[in-house]
Amino acid sequence: MLDIKRIRENPDEIRRGISARGADPSIVERVIELDTRRREILRELETLRNRRNKTSEEIGSLKRQGIDTSEMQKEVRKLGENISALNNELREVENSLSSILLTIPNIPHKTVPVGEGKTANKIVRQYGVERDFQFKPRTHVELATLLGIMDFPRAVKLSGTGFALFIGDGARLVRALIQFMLDLHTKEHGYTEVWPPVLNTRDCMTGTGQLPNFESDMYRLKDDELFLVPTAEVPLTNYFRDEIITQPLPIRLTAYTPCFRREAGAAGKETRGIIRIHQFDKVELVKFVEPHTSYSELESLVRDAEEVLQKLGLVYRVVELCTGDLGFAAAKCFDLELWCPGQNAWLEVSSCSNFEDFQARRARIRYRNSNGETQFVHTLNGSGVALPRLIVALLENNQQSDGSVILPEVLAPYMGGKTKLEPV
């Protein structure tokens, strides 16, 4: 959520930021209109309350002197009615203002490239070189079938389209990757591991920015206000919701969770296999930091996610997102994209974002600065990383002509020493 004072004092900046994201800047006028009326009501209420208090004091004094105060009492009752009416209007105005503020996206940082979509994104760097295959590379669907590590028909039988079923070495590979990433982030990167619930409240979903705009993308329990998490960012960020943090900053948390999203889209290349599915596994990274450090912390967050891909020996690139491609809550974001030869495409496997104080305002997460003053923290999060496309890249990049797949050495301890997947 944006600071109302920032909107009030810098409306042109906010309009430009909203426009750069491809959203309608006219919403700023409605916010200013409601904020102006809210402050008018507060001034009117203060005047009426002061007048009522003063008149009540006069009535007490006159009564002690035996003077009739019936007319003055009528005035006090009328003032009370006016105050009650203004209080009702104030609640309506504040509710409307709050509802509108929740729908306004974050303002891009001044360094974010301006553009409408993916073509305006900036490639920052690339790690590794695409492999030169001496044979036509198979897709992950073909490889998984040959290896017997996934069962696509039974996944459909169990849950419908858009779900995955790993079996045997496939299931073990999923578990191995999760353990490898959690060990890396906790032992080498300084994150504290969390095992959170995967059903979260509406307040939690609102705090991180999934609600109210994206409710149709979420899975919700029919008879409860509980949502299946689309990412562990939700429970991790809301860990400190409605609190003043007393621990030293920065605080780094990591968690593995299954994630649930209603991935919409027409049938096509991305809907085959596990590139775009409704339930997937992910290791998430979340940081709570002081405002003046948040952009250096963003750089280190990106490096933490990159190291996962480097240790797995995968070819990837870092992409800085333009204004039109930013997520709703992000002020700046870098995507990590893996090269997948079976798809002949780069696939996003991690988004690392700085939200500045946008989420902290929504979730009311504060800390005390060096002067002892209470202020909002800055929050960051990144995938560290998501598994489906990571598995796609591992299979497609490490495949051999006979359909076998060489596993990265770092996974051997988690795979019982196994270094190769063989066709069944």
Contact 45, 79 (CB under 8 A): no
Backbone conformation region of residue 168, classed left if phi is above 0, alpha if psi is from -120 to 50, else beta: left
Q: What is the pLDDT of residue 272?
A: 74
Q: Looking at 188-255, list the stretches that DSSP marks H as alpha helix, in order from N- to C-terminal side.
A: 202-208, 233-237
Residue 84: both structure tokens together: 């009650």
Q: What is the pLDDT of residue 106?
A: 98
Q: What is the pLDDT of residue 117?
A: 87
Q: What is the pLDDT of residue 271?
A: 58
Residue 43: both structure tokens together: 């001034």
Greatest C-alpha distance within the chain: 109
List of the chain residues with pLDDT < 70 = 264-271
Residues near 49 by Cβ (< 8 Å), separated by ≥ 6?
A: 83
Residues near 222 by Cβ (< 8 Å), separated by ≥ 6?
A: none
Could you confirm whether domain 118-421 is CATH 1.10.3470.10?
no
Residue 423: both structure tokens together: 């066709």
3-state helix, strand, coil in the chain (%, to 5): 45, 20, 35
Q: Which residue carries 């990274």 as its tokens? A: 285
Q: What is the pLDDT of residue 266?
A: 41
Question: Where are the domains positioned within the chain?
Answer: 4-101, 118-421
Instruction: Give the C-alpha distances (Å, rounded to integers) separating 418 from 409, 410, 414.
Output: 9, 11, 9
CATH topology agreement for domains 4-101 and 118-421: no
pTM exceeds cut of 0.75: yes
Dihedral pair phi/psi, residue 164, rounded to 5° = -115, 150
Q: What is the pLDDT of residue 223?
A: 86
Contact 404, 398 (CB under 8 A): no
Q: What is the pLDDT of residue 364?
A: 98
List, as one string, the DSSP characters of 3-40.
-HHHHHH-HHHHHHHHHHTTS-TTHHHHHHHHHHHHHH
Query: Domain spanning 4-101 has what CATH number?
Result: 1.10.287.40
d(CA 278, CA 90): 42
Residue 136: both structure tokens together: 């036509």
Residues near 30 by Cβ (< 8 Å), separated by ≥ 6?
A: 100
In this structure, the chain runs to a length of 424
Q: What is the pLDDT of residue 264?
A: 57
